[in-house]
Amino acid sequence: MRSAILVAAVLLAACGSEEIAAPEAPQLALEPFGAPEMQQYNIALTGCAFVPAGGGLGSLFITDGDKAYLKTNGLVAPLAKIGEDFAGGGYSASLKRSGEGKKSGASADYSAHLTVRDGRDVVIYEADGMARCGA
């Protein structure tokens, strides 16, 4: 009887010493914009278009004056400018440029960092890349 109680106590102690990992935040899969979305939302590219490093040529986040756009699951989420950031559709986003832009015609290319958060302020997308910004 004593050995059964001792074994149960050891097992309970072992269970209590395990750390429970916090659930990992879901990651947002952003998709590049195509001509149909650009036309449907009348995106003029007067702001900046973000392309992640090593992510190809498609823009995953576009600012256009007091609006910004991201695309996920085939749907475009328009965001409104709030201060220096953008929010809407359950997301908030921040595009930070750094350094001096390299001129390329009427636009300039900047090193940039994009952060997207969900409605609970949890980071669900973050990447370094390039922002091509219009004049």
pLDDT at 18: 53
d(CA 88, CA 78): 6
Q: Which residues contact 115 (CB under 8 A, 6 or more apart)?
A: 93, 94, 96, 123, 125, 126
Nearest to 60 by CA among 134, 129, 135, 133: 129
d(CA 8, CA 124): 42
d(CA 18, CA 49): 46
pTM for the full predicted model: 0.78
pLDDT in 10s for each residue of the chain, 135 residues? 444 444 444 444 445 545 555 556 568 899 999 999 999 998 887 899 999 998 777 899 999 889 999 999 999 999 999 999 999 999 999 999 998 889 988 899 999 999 999 999 999 999 999 999 985
The answer to whether 77 touches 70, Cβ cutoff 8 Å, is yes
pLDDT at 21: 54
